[in-house]
């Protein structure tokens, strides 16, 4: 049986409180607001406010999608058109558009120190990954959502069966990079990537062997040579083997060790490469222009959810919430109680949206328009394309 839209069952995983992203579908959030007894005063009209808000936000996101697509088209590795003119100025415009788009979708840019720390301490499924930063002209890593899950990890103590450990994950991780001597900008989006596996996703990562792999290969060869040598010594003691025959047997054994080690190394490296490809294949969500389309869609939903939550909280009990901090706490508490999700509500973004749409009766006192007036205001903005260029203008300002 399908669960009710306002089910309070917690989503899979644990959302850490530094997340700005609201991991709840817009329709479920709207249903939760309409069925909450505390929202009784605005519940009958909240659906109309949500629909009107959706129209206005959709017009903005459509303009943003066109702008981002236009900025990215010359650098898209999947394009079928030729490159015309000098793209250096266009690259700066693309950088600004990408930074803005990821930020509005509630992604955070990892600092260089964070990336280096992850590379220094990380390994994927016991595999060592070497990196060569000289091969990459530009690299940015954006993440959204931190969580913890229990996973089976192969360790030195249990190299075959592994053991269950708590690992920290990025719910979404995007890599934007440009190789040296290339104008193409690649964008890759992944899901549920362990923090310790970050370096394996870098474009210049090369698979190497871990200490455990080297012990496994060399140890097996040494064991074989040791067995052969022990037999040769036993024969010498018994006087049944000449010295020249012993040296010949030892030489053959050493040659066998070398061949076995080389073949073992190649096999282990192949296995590790296969693991890495398997890891990336099943956790890759989209690439290049497909990533941007998902980001714009995410922005549209986040704008609706943030604005609707702030409006509902303020309109349900006018005058009780008088500052931004109190509003943020109220929204976070409501989401935690209703959906068992902890997050850091982006109250600054929500208030900016209320400002942009003009949904205030008294801005200083945080008193919003009545639902009927709010709907009328939003529909007027939508018909007149009043805020359609909001995102594009913000990118131009470097906001």
Residues 206 and 130: beta-carbon distance below 8 Å: yes
Structure letter (DSSP) for residue 111: P
Listed ranges 125-129, 318-322, 333-337; the one with the highest mean pLDDT: 333-337
Alpha-carbon torsion (59, 61, 65, 66), positive or negative: positive
Report d(CA 349, CA 354) in Å as an integer. 9
Phi, psi torsion values for 296, nearest 5 degrees: -65, -40
- Give the 3-state secondary structure of residue 219: helix
For residue 133, is pLDDT > 50? yes
Residues 200 and 279: beta-carbon distance below 8 Å: yes
**pLDDT digits over 140-192, tens only?**
999 998 887 776 666 656 666 677 777 788 889 999 999 888 889 999 999 98
Alpha-carbon torsion (70, 71, 73, 78), positive or negative: negative
**pLDDT digits over 325-378, tens only?**
999 999 999 999 999 988 899 999 999 999 999 999 999 999 999 999 999 999
Q: Which long-range contacts (CB under 8 A, 24 or more apart) does 378-384 make?
A: 378/49, 378/52, 378/53, 378/55, 378/56, 379/52, 379/55, 381/56, 381/357, 382/52, 382/55, 382/56, 382/59
Q: Which long-range contacts (CB under 8 A, 24 or more apart) does 60-64 make?
A: 60/300, 60/303, 60/387, 60/388, 60/390, 60/391, 61/296, 61/297, 61/299, 61/300, 61/303, 61/391, 62/388, 63/388, 63/389, 63/390, 63/391, 63/392, 64/101, 64/296, 64/299, 64/391, 64/392
Residue where the block lists tokens 């070497």:
130
> What are the structure tokens assigned to 313, written together?
């909280």
For residue 89, is pLDDT > 70? no
For residue 90, is pLDDT > 70? yes
**pLDDT digits over 233-252, tens only?**
555 555 554 555 555 555 55
Cα 342 to the chain's mean position, in Å? 18
Helix residue spans in the chain (DSSP H): 26-35, 43-72, 88-104, 112-121, 211-237, 243-283, 289-316, 324-339, 347-357, 371-383, 390-397
What is the model's pLDDT at position 185? Answer: 94
Question: How does residue 135 score in pLDDT terms, banded at 50, 70 and 90?
Answer: confident
Q: What is the mean pLDDT of the chain?
A: 79
359: left (phi over 0), alpha (psi -120 to 50) or beta: alpha
Lowest mean pLDDT among 76-85, 196-205, 273-282: 273-282
Report d(CA 246, CA 276) in Å as an integer. 44
- Give the 3-state secondary structure of residue 174: strand
For residue 87, is pLDDT > 90? no
Residues 357 and 307: beta-carbon distance below 8 Å: yes
Q: Which residue has the higher pLDDT, 19 or 33?
A: 33
pTM value surpassing 0.85: no
For residue 50, is pLDDT > 60? yes
For residue 121, is pLDDT > 60? no
Report d(CA 199, CA 208) in Å as an integer. 12
Report d(CA 369, CA 350) in Å as an integer. 15
Cα angle for residues 20, 149, 163 (degrees, 5° grid): 155
Q: Which residue has the higher pLDDT, 133 or 336?
A: 336
What is the model's pLDDT at position 283? Answer: 87
For residue 66, is pLDDT > 80? yes
Report d(CA 84, CA 62) in Å as an integer. 26
What is the model's pLDDT at position 148? Answer: 78
Q: Minimal CA–CA distance to 70: which of 296, 341, 299?
A: 296
What is the model's pLDDT at position 138? Answer: 87
- Domain ranges in the chain? 26-57+306-397, 69-207+285-290, 211-269
What is the model's pLDDT at position 6? Answer: 38
Report d(CA 65, CA 335) in Å as an integer. 29
Q: Could you tell me the CA-to-CA distances from 84 to 90, 182, 183 in Å, in that order?
A: 11, 14, 12
């Amino acid at each position: 049986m399908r669960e009710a839209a306002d089910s309070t069952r917690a989503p899979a995983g644990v959302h850490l409180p530094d997340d700005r992203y609201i991991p709840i579908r817009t329709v479920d959030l709207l249903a939760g607001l309409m069925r909450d007894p505390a929202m009784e005063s605005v519940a009958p009209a909240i659906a109309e406010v949500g629909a009107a808000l959706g129209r206005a936000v959709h017009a903005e996101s459509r303009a943003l999608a066109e702008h981002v697509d236009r900025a990215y088209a010359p650098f898209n590795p999947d394009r079928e058109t030729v490159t015309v003119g000098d793209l250096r100025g266009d690259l700066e415009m693309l950088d600004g558009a990408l930074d803005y788009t990821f930020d509005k979708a509630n992604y955070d840019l990892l600092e260089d120190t964070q990336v280096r720390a992850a590379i220094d301490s990380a390994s994927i499924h016991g595999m060592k990954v070497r990196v060569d930063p000289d091969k990459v002209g530009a690299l940015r890593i954006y993440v959204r959502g931190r969580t913890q899950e229990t996973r089976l990890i192969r360790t030195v103590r249990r190299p075959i069966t592994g053991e269950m450990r708590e690992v920290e994950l990025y719910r979404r991780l995007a890599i934007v990079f440009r190789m040296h001597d290339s104008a193409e900008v690649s964008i890759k989006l992944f899901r549920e990537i362990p923090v310790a596996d970050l370096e394996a996703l870098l474009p210049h990562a090369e698979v190497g062997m871990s200490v455990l792999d080297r012990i496994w290969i060399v140890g097996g060869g040494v064991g074989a040579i040791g067995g052969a040598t022990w037999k040769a010594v036993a024969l010498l003691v018994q006087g049944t083997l000449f010295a020249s025959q012993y040296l010949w047997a030892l030489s053959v054994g050493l040659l066998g060790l070398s061949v076995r080690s080389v073949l073992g190394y190649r096999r282990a490296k192949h296995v590790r490469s296969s693991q890495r490809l398997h890891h990336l294949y099943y956790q890759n969500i989209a690439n290049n222009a497909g990533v941007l389309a998902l980001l714009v869609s995410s922005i549209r939903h986040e704008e609706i959810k943030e604005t609707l939550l702030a409006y509902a909280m303020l309109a349900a009990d006018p005058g009780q919430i008088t500052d931004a901090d109190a509003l943020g706490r109220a929204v976070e508490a409501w989401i935690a109680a209703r959906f068992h999700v902890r997050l850091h509500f982006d109250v600054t973004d929500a208030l900016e949206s209320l400002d942009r749409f003009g949904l205030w009766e008294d801005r200083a006192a945080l008193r919003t328009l009545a639902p009927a007036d709010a709907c009328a205001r939003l529909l007027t903005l939508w018909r007149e394309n009043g805020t359609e260029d909001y995102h594009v203008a913000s990118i131009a300002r470097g906001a």
